[in-house]
Structure 1
Amino acid sequence: MILSSLHSRPQRDSRPVCTSAPVRAGGASDAFLPDLPPERWVYGEIEPSPKNPSQSRTKDLQTLWTNRLWAGFCCSGQLRLHLVFALELEVPMECNPGVLTVGVSFGAFKLISRALDHLPAPESALRNSWKWRNICTSLVHSVVTGIWAVLCFYLHPRMAEDLIDTHSPSSHSLVAVSVGYFIHDFTDMLWNQKFQNSWELLFHHAVVITCFGISVSLCSYIGFAVVALLVEINSIFLHLRQVLLMANMGKTTCFRLNSIINLGTYVIFRISTLAWMTRWLVLNRDNIPLVTYSIGSVGMAIMTLMNIVLFYRLLRSDFLKSSREGKKEK
């Protein structure tokens, strides 16, 4: 019956058409037999069920989760079969540019890393040229993504109200660019550094790549990922600290000033941001599918623990240790 009803629809051209609208469905009967004009039906625009216009987002997600509506798109001469696959999220059917952006980002950071080999570096940094190159590449990423994340919320303030579904193309590209960078940095460390010296960062990158990768591929939770990228504002000073240390400037006024700014931005853009993200996850747990909520919760727990340990190391190295040395000199 479904095939005959679909086949009897007025036909346009025979080219496969990719829908440009997200798929939502209130029930199986509404999804498989949408009461829409043929020109809209061809492009796969299925509207929410009019039966419950005041239906809450929670109920809507539960409906989409339980009613897995599947179908496909086949074109063969005169035959057209329109099918839809809707999971627990609103999945756009158009081609996702995120994969291409990730690949371009990976190649761009690889080129930046290679280009740094041809730029002048302090003599003290030449003893470990790979580390100098790696830190400088990370500094470039932090500057670009930290500023970009702030601009995303400034230019698209509605994203702050809905971190799940609302986002701009620029925000989606930002998260994809970061995935490309983290893949580059992961492979770079794996190839050039001993595992026992880099396992913490490798583990961190694996968690970030997984969480951001899911967000980019589903075109969802982009706003939440952009909030996470606000920590890159602190990473600017964190990487600058390592640059100054490798340049033998650890006892200069510049290093001391950077240490104070680094600690302040660490509290604001790392610890406070991670605490806010954890609170948001807990408050919105009814609106998030169980699998996504579980991945997000585990990722947040790991990130929080790692950042607390790093904060203690910075405090001990830049402040507690220097104050003890000052007392010994007196």
Structure 2
Amino acid sequence: FHWMSSRKWGIVTANDTPSSTDPVSSHVQSDTVMFRLFFLFGVSVVLRLEYLLAAAIVRAKAREWSENKIRIFSARVISLTHATLSSIGCLCSLLSDSEYVKEPYDYSTYSAQYIFLFSMGYFIYDMTDMYIHGEAPYSKEYFIHHSLVLTAFSIILYTGKLFGFAMIGLLVEVQTIFLHLRTMIRLTGYAKKRSPAYNALINANMVCLFLFRHVPVTYLLYVMLYKDENCPLPLRAFLTCGLAFLTYHNTHLTISMVKADGFFGYEMQSLDEDHVDPLGPVKVKKS
């Protein structure tokens, strides 16, 4: 793993690497790493506080809802926050700098690291949240997904490579905005009315599912298998396996939403809060 030996988590490019013999540079590097760790776990803490606030507001406004329903809706508020902010950062980066696509392996920027760290903070929060609420044993697909992303982002930040790869992969969060909005509207019961606005939402969700999930993952698989010549074999194998899992994950998601939302000849399903998640129910005790 010689490709890792000269990298530190806080380093962006080879030209920015401080000399290990320079105490000033080493101190700056140490401070930078500590700040990023503070940012990472700070995101998790802030999202936890947002969840508690969201749950309190929903509990006060929807007194007839069960604790189970309040829990699921509040969790989607946090997921929507992450998807929205990640999408903004990802789209702004890709639209303002074509080097992410042209040089997905070698190109890196300082600002992109905080987009990745924000998502890592969310995934750490989400895994902890599922564990706290006893959902971990019934959320294996989410745990595998989150663990793969956390591992990949950690490697990317440590090596200073594959920033373009990660940024293209984050395009999935654009579709996730529509996914969480759809789930939240279903929880409120407005989906049963099949209003033009809701129909537009589920159609946009399905279009974005292919445009921002299937297309980017397929493109990244193509890059890993046929195009990229720089990525070391162990890392290429890990990323290819991760992308293969994401392909399964996205296919599972697509089939579930096609059936639930009434596409391609299926009738739209009426779902309670335990089954509104397209990847299946989680074990939560109802009040």
Contact 1:102 1:180 in 2 (8 A): yes
Per the normalisation by structure 1, the TM-score is 0.68
Of 267, 285, 304, which aligns to 2:210? 267
What is the match of residue 217 of structure 1? 158
**Partner letter of residue 122 of structure 2?**
Y
What is the match of residue 14 of structure 2? 22
Distance apart, 1:297 and its partner CA:
0.7
1:197 equivalenced with 2:138 (yes/no): yes
What is the match of residue 256 of structure 1? 199
Distance apart, 1:168 and its partner CA:
2.2
Contact 1:149 1:226 in 2 (8 A): yes
Instruction: Describe the shift of the 1:158–1:195 C-alpha distance in structure 2 as closer, same or farther (beyond 3 A).
Output: closer
Distance apart, 1:301 and its partner CA:
0.5
Instruction: Describe the shift of the 1:319–1:99 C-alpha distance in structure 2 as closer, same or farther (beyond 3 A).
Output: same
Of 241, 245, 259, which aligns to 1:298? 241
Distance apart, 1:160 and its partner CA:
2.1
Which structure would you say has the larger Rg? 1
What is the match of residue 155 of structure 1? 96
Of 232, 246, 255, which aligns to 1:289? 232
What is the match of residue 246 of structure 1? 187
Structure 1, gaps ≥5 residues long: 1-17, 25-42, 45-71, 76-81, 84-91
Distance apart, 1:175 and its partner CA:
0.6
Per the normalisation by structure 2, the TM-score is 0.77
Instruction: Describe the shift of the 1:320–1:162 C-alpha distance in structure 2 as closer, same or farther (beyond 3 A).
Output: closer
State how far apart, in whole Å, the 2-side matches of 1:268 and 1:325 are.
22
- How many residues align? The count is 250
State how far apart, in whole Å, the 2-side matches of 1:20 and 1:250 are.
46
1:161-240 equivalences in 2 (<5 Å): 161-240=102-181
Amino-acid identity (%): 20
Aligned alpha-carbon RMSD (Å): 3.0
**Partner letter of residue 102 of structure 1?**
L
Instruction: Describe the shift of the 1:94–1:224 C-alpha distance in structure 2 as closer, same or farther (beyond 3 A).
Output: farther
The structure carrying a bigger helix percent of its residues is 2
Of 223, 227, 231, which aligns to 1:280? 223
What is the match of residue 4 of structure 2? none
**Partner letter of residue 151 of structure 1?**
C
**Partner letter of residue 299 of structure 1?**
G
State how far apart, in whole Å, the 1-side matches of 2:109 and 2:156 are.
13
**Partner letter of residue 114 of structure 1?**
L
Distance apart, 1:323 and its partner CA:
4.7
State how far apart, in whole Å, the 2-side matches of 1:23 and 1:94 are.
19
State how far apart, in whole Å, the 1-side matches of 2:88 and 2:154 are.
21
**Partner letter of residue 238 of structure 1?**
L
Cα deviations across residues 159-205 of structure 1 (Å, max 9, x unaligned)? 22111222222211101110010010011012213334311111111
Distance apart, 1:123 and its partner CA:
4.8
Contact 2:90 2:171 in 1 (8 A): yes
**More displaced stretch, 132-141 vs 157-166:** 157-166
